[in-house]
A and B are shown apart, each in its own frame.
Chain A
Amino acid sequence: MSDAAIRNEAFASKLALTYAEFFDGVSPLRQRVSIRVNGDALELKNVETHAEHRWPLSTIRTLSDQASTEAMTFAPDDVNPARLIVREVGAMRAILNTDAPLRPLTGRRGGFVRLGVMATLAAACFGGLLFGLIPWFAETAAARIPQEAEVLLGQQQYGLTYGRQRQCSSPDGDAALRTMAARLTENADLHVPLTLRVVDLPHVNATALPGGQVTIWSGLLTAAERPEEVAAVLAHEIGHVAHRDPTRAQIRVMGSYGMIGLLFADTFGTATAAMVGQALDASYTRSAEADADAYSHQLLIEAGVSPDALGSLFARMEQQYGPSPDGLASLLSTHPAHADRIAASRDAAARADIGAGTPILSDVEWAALRGICTAAPAADGEGKG
């Protein structure tokens, strides 16, 4: 090539030209364009029609997450559908060597405003439903549910919860339990009669289900040092019955069925949903527990039993098993911290000032109750454990 040819400027600029594939965003026609950087813009010129497009370098976007590295696709800005597909190395270099920022294409702006509105609405909606409407509905429905329906609901729940456990029963033990309950409920105004059961389970626990179904776990009878401690727990469960807490909780569970799952449908599935559900449940019940405690103090005092029986039971359990969960774990706990409950029961005892009180069961009755699971089992015992 002679020097004269290279000095020819028109020819030199032609040599510097590179080519790419262009779609103008109006028609799907494939256009071949020459590309040239001119000042602060990229000039695209159709090789047949000579139609020109100028893309300001500052707004040019690249497409990210592309599968093929053999071609690069560029857009003039975030909204224009026109595209430039560059395959030649020279053309790619021509664009990359400019000081164009080449930000990735993100689409139309303003998504954050809509997202903010939606997030607020969603929080309001879920908050309103889970902490407002559903608890309110549960409250109303629990107060109006016919007694028969409540008992049926409780029986169904009992079957689900304890259907596979051995139920303990002995004539003297049953009688002792009835005596204890009668002393406690003498002045209580319950909307359903109590159904008391003892099941053979080793943990220190008792539960109340809808329709006055109160179940004592045999572990409580073993752990209690005196009958008043059992009476304190029983009074607490009677408190739940009087406040219709189990019915309310059950209706709340039915009302929020599937709702947490919506939030975690795809990614975390049931595990996370169950955990959030548990935290939610716990937040509902902790205040109900405190109310049931207060109610039980009243029942115990009226029955002539000092409310600090609950405190002495819990204090012993803390010594044995360590303090109840604290901090983050307490969010998942359905009951208030043991320390608070112990203090509340001692306060109530101090205010009532009934000293040791009258024994709720005679020694013989207490022995019969403690032995209810070891005595000759009733006919329906399944002989487990």
Chain B
Amino acid sequence: MSVIRTDFEGDRGALFLLALKTGALTLLTAGIYRFWAKTRLRRWYWSAVRPGGAPMEYTGTPLEKLSGFLFAIIVLAILLAATNFSAIMTSVNLLDEMPAVFTTIVAIIPLLTAPFFFYARYRARRYILARTHWRGIRFGMEPGAIGYAIRACFLMALTVLTGGLLWPLMTFRLERFLTDRTWYGNARFTQHGGFARLYGPLLPFLVTFWGGIALIGYFLAQIVTMENGVPQLPEYVSSRTETWPLWTGILSILLSVLCAFYYKVAAIGILASGKTLGDGIEFDLYPRTRRILKIYFFGFHKTWIASGLVQSAVAGLIFGALWLGGGFSQEAIQAMILNPPVNVAIVSSVLTFLLLRLVFGVFWHTFITYPLIAHLAETAEIHNPELLNGIRQRDADRRMDAGGFAEALDTGAAF
């Protein structure tokens, strides 16, 4: 059985420069260049990933992204206005409870946007696939964003209500929904298997999360007294009360966050091995949780150091310029550093804010996205590649919002 592996070829320094250049232009153009920046960075990453030595290609364009974004904000602005109006009308008509009702509605709005979030994610994925080529053949995805949003909301609610017990069901069903609608040329991807296999990697999470809850519950049961059927916390905790269940419980819940991360990484590998393309091309992906955690840890570390340097550099630049060009005495500058005048404070904080955003973006690309993609690419395997030769081209999929909804809602997509 033959296998092709994936190379990752790309110079980190070149990526750093590209991210810096496009990030700076984005700042200088009040954000308009971000559609160009996103396109160029995607092109770069895609071309670095080379399954079987042939680079992937990203063919999306900045103009279609900008158009799609404008389309999305038109739709969202109208929906938002309608939501706001109905919130006001509801609150104005319910006299006595008005402020409470208004705050409740404002609090519910993020929940109401959840379906849009999933809708946007599906559309963004569809757009990206339609603009991805490999070996001259297009990927593609069928429409289905609304169905995906409905399923995602329902499964998410189930997962939360069961305290994570049905998390694998959500992971698997949503992945199958996406995979079964994905195409390479005229060949369709299929997700096989079931959600039961995901319980293995979920077990550490379930144990630490529910164990933590049980421990904290045990601790509370010791100290809480019932008064007229209402639980009451005591004024002070007796020194004889066992406190170990409380702190082990809290530790356990903190640990469960790491376990959740492990689950998500392991699920990627398990789901990948259950996918096929066309008549029997199979896949494997072996992401390592430890490796990914290391990437995030050291990536953040470098980003923090750079951010600190930026802050001192901005302060140095401003006060240096005032000293050299402004004709201020050294004492005056020292006084200004301790107690900056409003103008200087505003200029330096705006400058720092903008530069921090720039540095954060550049470092994120260079030290987190880059190694993450390299790691995923290098662990990928494609089995039975000779079957690829039976695949034929598919038609281009043009009419789309080009990820505009995801852009407007800032769904935090990786690219």
Contacts and interface: CB of A to CB of B under 8 A. Distances in A.
A29 B55 CA distance: 14
A69 B95 CA distance: 69
A146 B50 CA distance: 67
Contact of B71 (A118, A129, A267): A118
A265 B76 CA distance: 12
Name the prevailing secondary structure of the B interface residues: helix
Contacts of B89: 141
A25 B136 contact: yes
A70 interface: yes
Interface string B51-82: 00011010111011011001101101110110
Contacts, number: 190
A342 interface: no
Give the residue among A24, A64, A69, A83 with the most B Cβ atoms within 10 A.
A83
Contacts of A106: 61
Contacts of A156: 99
Given A67-B11, A67-B44, A266-B34, A81 B67 contact: no
B136 A23 contact: yes
Interface in A24-82: 24-30, 63-71, 73, 81-82
Contacts of B60: 107
B135 A149 contact: no
A1 interface: no
Given A255-B85, A265-B410, A111 B136 contact: no
Contacts of A348: none
Interface in B28-61: 30-31, 34, 40-41, 43-45, 47-48, 50, 54-55, 57, 59-61
A258 interface: yes
Interface in A78-126: 81-83, 85, 105-108, 111-112, 114-115, 118-119, 121-122, 125-126
Interface residues of A, number: 65
A269 to B, nearest CB: 8
A11 interface: no
B8 to A, nearest CB: 9
A28 B74 contact: no
Given A65-B43, A115-B66, A263-B73, A256 B57 contact: no
B290 interface: no
B99 A266 contact: no
A255 B87 CA distance: 9
A268 interface: yes
A111 B64 CA distance: 6
Given A126-B77, A256-B84, A67 B393 contact: no
B388 interface: yes
Contacts of B47: 63, 65-68, 73
A48 B256 CA distance: 58
B133 A81 contact: yes
B214 to A, nearest CB: 40
B74 A141 contact: no
A257 B84 contact: yes
A156 B99 CA distance: 7
B10 A67 contact: yes
Nearest to A253: B84
A375 interface: no
Nearest to B410: A265
Nearest to B42: A65
B67 A115 contact: yes
Contacts of B174: none
A259 B81 CA distance: 8
A379 interface: no
A148 B70 contact: no
Given A63-B57, A115-B63, A149 B80 contact: no
B149 to A, nearest CB: 19
B44 A65 contact: yes
B136 A28 contact: yes
Given A67-B10, A254-B88, A149 B95 contact: yes
Contact of B98 (A66, A73, A105, A152): A152
Given A23-B136, A68-B48, A29 B389 contact: yes
B301 interface: no
A231 B100 CA distance: 36
Given A66-B55, A118-B67, A133 B81 contact: yes
B43 A111 contact: no
A262 interface: yes
Contacts of A134: 81
A137 interface: yes
B353 interface: yes
8 contacts: A25-B136, A115-B66, A118-B74, A125-B77, A149-B95, A254-B84, A259-B81, A266-B34
**Pairs of residues from A and B, 5 with the lowest C-beta to C-beta distance, nearest first:** A67-B10, A23-B136, A111-B63, A67-B48, A267-B31
